[in-house]
Amino acid sequence: MNARNDRRGRLRTAMGADGSGERPLNWPGDPESLTAEAVDFEALAHVLANTCRRGGRLRRFHSLAAHAVLMSEAIGNLGGPEAGDGRTMALHALLADAGVAWLGAEAAGTQRGTERLKRLQETVDRAVREAAGLHGEPSPEEAELLRFVARMVEAAEARDIPGARDGAAPAVAFPPLPGRIRTVEPDRAARLWLDRLQDLRSSSSAGGGAAGTLAEESRNPNDATRGEEA
């Protein structure tokens, strides 16, 4: 990681003014004037970890942060030429829902959104990508791969998380990710998201380091989860 990227969106660790060891976070605010220097990834991680998928229409809490880690790890585990630059693709997947932190749930439906919302989404995506060290948006081929992996993750969530299936089964069935998904608590989801981000920003390979952490968590019988007895 170069010095420029370290200044942009870095994970600050300075002790807070109250001596608690927790620094004040720069929470996502006005998207109009957002710059890469203003992106606080720790704050972003907590917003995504405290935001439920599908607008909360689930019987068990499953955060956007946990979903993003699943997406990123699935991309990192693909390997082969079809995955392209695995680290870059995995980072794009991890940051795909970042706009929700600034724009709310509307950010997930920009195709049906207003022109202003689309413009704000582009502003946020550009700032977050730059802060993470990414150059430009995914190519059409990379975007298609991200959509395919998203369908695989959604199929796994529909299999494992009550309420995740939206109505009837899709016309085209996608293979779900292997392994069972269990929803982790928000604090743990935020840590997993941050660990994955740090790994991808400092590693030359998306498959190393934090890859597989969420799957390992789901197999741990002592894992802190929501809704295990639901």
Query: Measured between alpha carbons, how far is 230 from 218 in angstroms, rounded to an integer?
Result: 16
Give residue limits of the domains in the chain.
3-8+26-218
Q: pTM to 2 decimals? A: 0.76
Q: Are 159 and 197 in contact (CB under 8 A)?
A: no
Q: Which two tokens stand for residue 84?
A: 């392209």
Query: Measured between alpha carbons, how far is 2 from 92 in angstroms, rounded to an integer?
Result: 19
Burial class (CB in 10 A: 0-12, 13-18, 19+), 208: middle
Q: Note the residue count of the chain.
A: 230
3-8+26-218 CATH choice from 1.20.1250.20, 1.10.10.10, 1.10.1760.20, 1.10.3210.10: 1.10.3210.10
pLDDT of residue 115: 85
Residue 138 corresponds to which amino acid?
A: P
Query: Measured between alpha carbons, how far is 10 from 131 in angstroms, rounded to an integer?
Result: 8
pLDDT in single tens digits along all 230 residues of the chain:
444 444 444 444 333 444 446 788 989 989 999 999 999 999 999 999 999 988 888 888 889 999 999 999 999 887 654 455 788 999 999 999 999 999 987 666 545 568 888 899 999 999 999 999 998 899 999 999 999 999 999 999 988 887 766 655 555 678 888 888 888 999 999 999 999 999 999 864 444 443 345 544 444 433 333 334 33
pLDDT of residue 219: 40
CB 51: neighbour CB atoms within 10 A? 20
The conformation of residue 206, written as its DSSP 8-state character, comes to T
